[in-house]
Amino acid sequence: MAEAFLEVDERLDSSELQAVSVAAGDGIGPEITAAALKVLEAARAPLTFQYIDMGLECWQRGLSSGVPADSWEAIRQTGVLLKGPMTTPQGSGMKSLNVTLRKSLGLFANVRPVRAYVPFIASHHPGADLVIIRENEEDLYAGIEHRQTQDVVQCLKLVSRSGCERIIRYAFEFVMTRRRKRLTCMTKDNIMKLTDGLFHQVFDEIAEEYPDVETDHMIVDIGMARVANAPEAFDVIVTPNLYGDIVSDIAAEVTGSVGLAPSANVGESIGVFEAIHGSAPDIAGKNVANPSGLLLSSVKMLAHLGMGEHAELIHNAWLRTIEDGVHTPDVFGSGHSHQRVGTDEFADAVIQRLGERAVNLGQAHYPRRKLLTAARKPAAWQERKLVGVDLFVQARDMPQTLAEDLHAASRATHLDLTMITNRGVQVWPTGAPETFCTDHWRCRFLMHGDSPHVLRNRDVFALAALLDSAGIDIVKTEHLYDFDGTPGYSMGQGQ
Ligand code: NAD
pLDDT of residue 11: 47
- Asked if residue 244 and residue 130 are part of one domain, the reply reads yes
pLDDT of residue 59: 86
pLDDT of residue 6: 37
The domain boundary residue, chosen from 228, 254, 280: 254
Return the best residue to mutate from 277, 295, 340 for the ligand 1 pocket (most ligand atoms within 8 A of CB).
Answer: 277
CA pair distance 268, 84, nearest whole angstrom: 22
Cα torsion 198, 203, 209, 211 to 10°: value is -150
Is residue 84 within 8 Å of 294, Cβ to Cβ? yes
- Asked if residue 207 and residue 149 are part of one domain, the reply reads yes
**Ligand 1 atom nearest residue 293's Cα:** 18
Q: Does residue 408 lie within any of the structural domains?
A: yes
Q: Does residue 378 lie within any of the structural domains?
A: no
Nearest CA residue ID for atom 10, ligand 1: 280
**Could you tell me which residues are beta bridge partners of residue 482?**
385, 487
Q: Does residue 193 lie within any of the structural domains?
A: yes
- Asked if residue 301 and residue 210 are part of one domain, the reply reads no
- Asked if residue 390 and residue 280 are part of one domain, the reply reads no
- Asked if residue 211 and residue 246 are part of one domain, the reply reads yes
Cis peptide before 119 (omega within 30 of 0): yes
Is the CA virtual torsion 294, 296, 297, 302 positive or negative? positive
279 CB near ligand 1 (under 6 Å):
yes
**Ligand 1 atom nearest residue 280's Cα:** 3
54 CB near ligand 1 (under 6 Å):
no
Q: How far is the CA of 280 from the centre of ligand 1 (A)?
A: 4
66 CB near ligand 1 (under 6 Å):
no
Count other C-beta atoms under 10 Å from residue 306's C-beta. Answer: 15
431 CB near ligand 1 (under 6 Å):
no
Q: How far is the CA of 27 from the centre of ligand 1 (A)?
A: 9
CATH of the domain at 441: 3.30.70.1570
- Asked if residue 273 and residue 222 are part of one domain, the reply reads no
Q: Specify the number of domains making up the chain.
A: 3
Nearest CA residue ID for atom 31, ligand 1: 87
Nearest CA residue ID for atom 24, ligand 1: 278
- Asked if residue 167 and residue 140 are part of one domain, the reply reads yes
Q: Does residue 379 lie within any of the structural domains?
A: no
88 CB near ligand 1 (under 6 Å):
yes
- Asked if residue 260 and residue 322 are part of one domain, the reply reads yes
Nearest CA residue ID for atom 4, ligand 1: 280
278 CB near ligand 1 (under 6 Å):
yes
Q: How far is the CA of 33 from the centre of ligand 1 (A)?
A: 14
Q: Does residue 116 lie within any of the structural domains?
A: no
- Asked if residue 283 and residue 206 are part of one domain, the reply reads no
The pLDDT tens digits along the chain (495 residues) read 433 343 444 545 566 789 999 999 999 999 999 999 999 999 999 999 999 999 888 888 888 778 899 999 999 999 999 999 998 877 655 567 877 888 889 899 999 999 999 999 988 999 999 999 999 989 998 888 999 999 999 999 999 999 999 999 999 999 998 889 999 999 999 999 999 999 999 999 999 999 999 999 999 999 999 999 999 999 999 999 999 999 999 998 888 777 899 999 999 889 999 999 999 999 999 999 999 999 999 999 999 999 999 999 999 999 999 999 999 999 998 778 999 999 999 999 999 999 999 999 999 999 887 776 655 666 788 999 999 999 999 999 889 999 999 999 999 999 999 999 999 999 999 999 889 999 999 999 999 888 889 999 999 999 999 999 999 999 999 999 999 999 999 987 766
Nearest CA residue ID for atom 37, ligand 1: 278
**Ligand 1 atom nearest residue 96's Cα:** 34
**Ligand 1 atom nearest residue 55's Cα:** 40
The domain boundary residue, chosen from 254, 270, 285: 254
Return the best residue to mutate from 86, 97, 279 for the ligand 1 pocket (most ligand atoms within 8 A of CB).
Answer: 279
User: What pTM was computed for the model?
Assistant: 0.89
Q: Does residue 202 lie within any of the structural domains?
A: yes
Q: How far is the CA of 344 from the centre of ligand 1 (A)?
A: 19
CA pair distance 300, 83, nearest whole angstrom: 13
Is residue 376 within 8 Å of 166, Cβ to Cβ? yes
Q: How far is the CA of 248 from the centre of ligand 1 (A)?
A: 16
The domain boundary residue, chosen from 254, 286, 308: 254
Q: Does residue 113 lie within any of the structural domains?
A: no
- Asked if residue 262 and residue 250 are part of one domain, the reply reads no
- Asked if residue 287 and residue 199 are part of one domain, the reply reads no
Which residues constitute the domain of residue 201? 124-254
CATH of the domain at 210: 3.40.718.10
**Ligand 1 atom nearest residue 97's Cα:** 40
pLDDT of residue 14: 61
Q: How far is the CA of 35 from the centre of ligand 1 (A)?
A: 17
85 CB near ligand 1 (under 6 Å):
yes
Nearest CA residue ID for atom 44, ligand 1: 278
Q: Does residue 51 lie within any of the structural domains?
A: yes
Nearest CA residue ID for atom 43, ligand 1: 278
- Asked if residue 238 and residue 183 are part of one domain, the reply reads yes
